Amino acid sequence: MAGVRRLTQKDIARLAGVSQATVSLVLNGAAAGDARIPEETRERVEKVIRDTGYVADPVARRMAKGLNRILGVFTYEPAFPSDQADFFAPFMLGIEEAAQALGYDLLLFTAGSGGRRRLFDEHTRLRLADGCLIIGRSFDRDELARLMAGDYPFVAIGRRDDAGGPVPYVGADYAAAAAVMVERAVGLGHRRFAYVGNAERAESMRDRWQGFLAGLAAAGGELALHVPVEHRPADETLDAVLASGATVAFFLELADAIEVDAAARRRGLAVPGDLSIVVTGSHERTRRPPGVAFTSFGIPREEMGRQATAMLAAALAAGARPGRQVLVPCEFVEGATLGPPRAAPASRMSDKKEITT
């Protein structure tokens, strides 16, 4: 309210009948029985703090080498879009749950200019938080390198390649999950596989692709077709898959799988049977059509958020920067779009095929 000034440590000291130095010691964690502060005095100061709702100046506390008990959260994309099938909400739920359990508040950073979010924008308030959790499908490489070169504690949610050193992260084990899906398909009788999706851009995409290839090598499957461009016309993609002789198609994006599944059913093809469809987790926010349960794997977003928060808090308590890299297992989702191939396709191609346009 206008005319009401912020309480200071001097005010707390006056109300508690102690010195300002005593208030500072209490705020910075002097425990019961500390020789410098009698227990009765400490309790009196803490009661005044509770009664007045006093909050220490975060800058002053940092200068005193204390912790604000605040964790920052930064996302390179909007964290709370109106779409109900939100990609980020599970991460935020896991972060919030862990932060509350650990006694931390959260501060969401949204600074940016020109429609682009940036960690090191001119208006950034990064240092108000003790450390930061960073989420994004793709990171700004220059900002990541700058973080690694500095002393600010952070943990990335999602695996990140080294940037001047090992990036601390909690990610999903996409490679292992994709390999397991391939092994399941081979176990059902599939030998020729198609893969629809980019294999190069983000680490999560590369992990899925490498896991897919590793699964083929381990289980004896064959890559008949790779369509590295998402969002092509569904009928065009379906024609290519069928012509290649593939009996199962793996999709990076749920949106592409939905469209190809619909195109196949319009033609009277059975899914599975004539063609099986597997989704390697969705990179985008997309609603699943009613009645279609795609075989896939669940991305452990809540658990990733919880573990990343715990990792950051543990490092702050130890007075060190996080240095670990953790991959959380993905959970297989049975679905109804993967089954044994009905019969060998009438049209087969002897060579592997890749669509690049």
pLDDT in tens, 182-198: 999 999 999 999 999 98
Q: Please indicate, yes or no, if residue 59 is contained in any of the structural domains.
A: no
Q: What is the CATH number of the domain that holds 96?
A: 3.40.50.2300
- Same domain? 325 vs 339: no
188 and 45 belong to one structural domain: no
> Would 262 be classed as within a structural domain?
yes
pLDDT tops 80 at residue 174: yes
**Average pLDDT score over residue span 31-53:** 76
Same domain, 153 and 122: yes
pLDDT in tens, 43-75: 898 888 887 777 665 555 544 446 778 999 988
Place of tokens 């049975």: 334
Q: What is the mean pLDDT of residues 198-217?
A: 91
Domain extent, residue 131, equals 70-167+301-329
Residues 243 and 200 both lie in one domain = yes
91 and 129 housed in the same domain: yes
Cα-only R_g, the chain: 27
pLDDT digits (tens, 9 = 90+) for 265-281: 999 999 999 999 999 97
Distance from chain centroid for Cα 5? 41
Q: Which of 130-144, 145-159, 172-186, 343-357 has the lowest mean pLDDT?
A: 343-357
Q: 160 and 185 share a domain? A: no
Are residues 181 and 122 part of one domain? Answer: no
Residues 28 and 48 in one domain: yes
Is residue 64 domain-resident? no
- Position 109 scores a pLDDT of 84
Name 328's bridge partners. 172
65 in any annotated domain: no
**Assigned token pair, 108:** 């969401």
Phi (first) and psi of residue 87, to 5 degrees: -75, -35
What is the tally of structural domains in the chain?
3
The answer, yes or no, to whether residue 350 has pLDDT greater than 50, is no
